Each structure stands twice: as C-alpha cells, then as structure tokens.
C-alpha cells in the first residue's frame, strides 16, 4: 500500500515539476523577453515527454506500468540533463556548439553566399547565456533540476518495483 502511494504521488509530482519547468521557460521567453536558442528549445521536449508519460500512467488501464513509466521518465530526464550539460559547455566555451547553434559558418566568396549565411544565421546564439543567477545560467539550473527529478523518479519507480516481489 505504501508503494502505491509513493507511485501515485510521483506520477503527479514529476509531471507537475516538468510542467513548472516548462512554465518557467515560457515565462522567461514571453514575459521577460529572454529569447531561447536552439539548445534551449531542445531542453523543453524531455520535460513535455516526462509529463505526458506520467499522466498516461495515471489512467487506470495503465497503472500496472506505473513503475516502468517512472523508470522511463528517469531516462528522459537524464537525456535532458545531458542536453543541458552540453549547453552549459557551449556557454562556457568548453567546447564548440554546432554551426546552427553558434553560427560559425565559413567565409562567403560571393554576395549571394554572404546573403545566404546572414539569412541562415541563428538569431539567438547558444554560446551566450541570456540570463544567469549567481554565475549559473538557466541551462546550468536545468542540469541540477533534471538530475534531481530523475533521482526522485528513479527512487519512486524502484520502490514500486521492490514491493511487487
């Protein structure tokens, strides 16, 4: 009975936390006008996926899969932490982002090539943090948040699986 409560609580808290992260991203974009780069957009998808799969597991027909869904959420959130870690590395110039991300195209030889490069250049660069608090960018906080949420999901899923034995 204890694991059922833990599982249901996790299936509610994980999507709420994921949706809160998405809300923070959209508020920073539309209220505070901090435009996202390509990597910022990529980091939104795993939160949406984690929320969706957890909500599906709340449907009575799929409740038996709840522990496995929580473990799947762990994998999705770890992928998100990986994307965010990559983004932090690009921001800190530990490594170079892709051409689409940082706009490091080759030298144009003609006016048409130059025009094409300018038109294809990203508006928001991934290697420049739009906002940071205490020296940590939003991508850095996303790493921490994704890992914490993955650990919580994993512990809840493991508890649910352990009680089935």
76: burial class by Cβ within 10 Å (0-12, 13-18, 19+)? buried
Look at phi and psi of residue 95 and say left if phi exceeds 0, alpha if psi is from -120 to 50, else beta: beta
Average pLDDT over residues 135-158: 91
pLDDT in tens, 25-84: 999 999 998 888 888 889 999 999 999 999 998 888 888 888 899 999 999 999 999 999
CB 102 within 8 A of CB 127: yes
**Residue 77 maps to which CATH number?**
1.20.1550.10
What is the structure's pLDDT at 128?
72
What is the structure's pLDDT at 17?
96
Residue appearing with tokens 């799969």: 53
Q: How many residues does the chain have?
A: 165
What is the structure's pLDDT at 19?
96
pLDDT in tens, 112-136: 776 776 666 556 776 776 777 787 7
Query: pLDDT confidence of 160, banded at 50, 70, 90?
Result: confident
Average pLDDT over residues 93-113: 71
Q: b or e along 89-104 (b: 16 or more beta carbons within 10 Å of the residue's beta carbon)?
A: ebbeeeeebeeebbbe
H helix or E strand, kind and range, residue 137: strand 136-137
pLDDT in tens, 2-36: 567 778 888 999 999 999 999 999 999 999 988 88
Q: Reply yes or no on whether the pLDDT at 92 is more than 80.
A: yes
- Provide the terminal-to-terminal Cα distance of the chain, rounded to the nearest Å: 13
CB 124 within 8 A of CB 130: yes
Residue appearing with tokens 């990203």: 122
What is the structure's pLDDT at 88?
92
Q: How many domains does the chain have?
A: 1
DSSP classification of residue 133: E
Q: Give the residue numbers spanning the domain of 84.
A: 2-163
Handedness of CA 134, 90, 126, 38 (dihedral sign): negative
């Amino acid at each position: 009975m204890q694991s059922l409560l833990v599982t249901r609580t996790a299936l509610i808290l994980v999507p709420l936390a994921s949706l809160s992260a998405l809300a923070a991203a959209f508020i920073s974009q539309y209220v505070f006008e901090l435009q996202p780069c390509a990597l910022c957009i990529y980091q939104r998808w795993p939160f949406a996926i984690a929320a969706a799969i957890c909500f599906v597991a709340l449907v009575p027909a799929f409740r038996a899969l709840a522990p496995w869904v929580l473990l799947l959420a762990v994998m999705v959130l770890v992928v998100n932490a990986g994307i965010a870690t990559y983004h932090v590395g690009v921001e800190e110039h530990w490594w170079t982002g892709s051409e689409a991300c940082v706009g490091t195209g080759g030298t144009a030889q003609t006016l048409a090539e130059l025009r094409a490069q300018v038109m294809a250049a990203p508006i928001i660069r991934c290697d420049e943090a739009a906002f940071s608090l205490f020296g940590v960018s939003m991508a850095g906080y996303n790493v921490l948040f994704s890992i914490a949420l993955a650990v919580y999901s994993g512990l809840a899923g493991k508890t649910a699986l352990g009680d089935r034995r």
